[in-house]
Amino acid sequence: MIYPIIGYGATVLRKKCQDIVKGELDVKQISQNMFETMYAASGIGLAGPQVNLPYRIFVVDGEIINNSAETEEEIDPDLVGFKKTFINAQILEETGEPWPYEEGCLSIPGIRADVYRKPVITIRYFDTDWVEHTESFKGMAARIIQHEYDHIEGVLFTDYLAPLKKQMLKKKLGQIQKGIVDVDYKMKFI
């Protein structure tokens, strides 16, 4: 089932999400629906609040980036096999010198901007079988996780932008909030 993507301005995007209690939700079905929704919108990550689920769950698939590589050299080894569901995630540590990369968001279509993030993270989470993992990720894999993790904390990538950049985007963000967007995926504006 493909969920509509919740657009910028909705309160669900600004609230810290609640943990999922084991057995309370069908996390396997939710994860499957989230992957289906993410693929339909050509995304590489999607968090619960982006589909109006106020829970600490997000999905990522970095293989999408590698699949678009034109040469072997363009394949990112950190993204090989990087397709996961994170439930009740907690970032334990972020290390290294922050590096910029232009990010976008399915809930904020048409806007992209450089965001500085630390290159290495350690995160504890559950998978859809409720197996607990503590893993470290680096580079683009770490960045994708950090972006989606921010969503379950009520943070958007635009929060990292300089005041002048935010001011320059104010009109465009206002249009998104009103549903004035041109996207090829289903969105909902609350």
Mean pLDDT in each 10-residue stretch from start to end of the chain (190 residues)? Answer: 97 98 97 98 97 98 89 89 97 98 97 97 98 97 98 98 93 95 94
147 is in an annotated binding site: yes
pLDDT of residue 102: 96
pLDDT of residue 69: 83
pLDDT of residue 72: 86
Give me the helices (H) in 56-119, please: 63-67
174-182 own/partner pairs: CB under 8 Å, 24+ apart:
176/7, 176/8, 176/9, 176/108, 176/109, 176/110, 176/111, 177/7, 177/8, 177/9, 179/7, 181/7, 181/109, 181/110, 182/109, 182/110
Q: Is 74 among the residues known to form the active site?
A: no
Residue 51: count of CB within 10 angstroms of its CB: 22
- This prediction has a pTM of 0.95
Catalytic residue chosen out of the listed positions 24, 36, 74, 148:
148
| Alpha carbon distance 92, 18 (integer Å) | 18
Q: In Å, how far are 6, 104, 116, 122 from 101, measured between CA atoms?
A: 24, 10, 7, 20
The strands making up 120-126's β-sheet, listed across from edge to edge, are 45-47, 57-61, 83-95, 120-126, 132-138
Element (H, E) at 124: strand 120-126
pLDDT of residue 190: 82
The DSSP letter of residue 18 is B
Find tokens 């958007």 and name the residue. 156
| Alpha carbon distance 140, 62 (integer Å) | 8
Element (H, E) at 83: strand 83-95
151 is in an annotated binding site: yes
133 is in an annotated binding site: no
| Alpha carbon distance 75, 69 (integer Å) | 6
Hey, what domains does the chain have and what are their CATH numbers?
Answer: 5-188 (3.90.45.10)
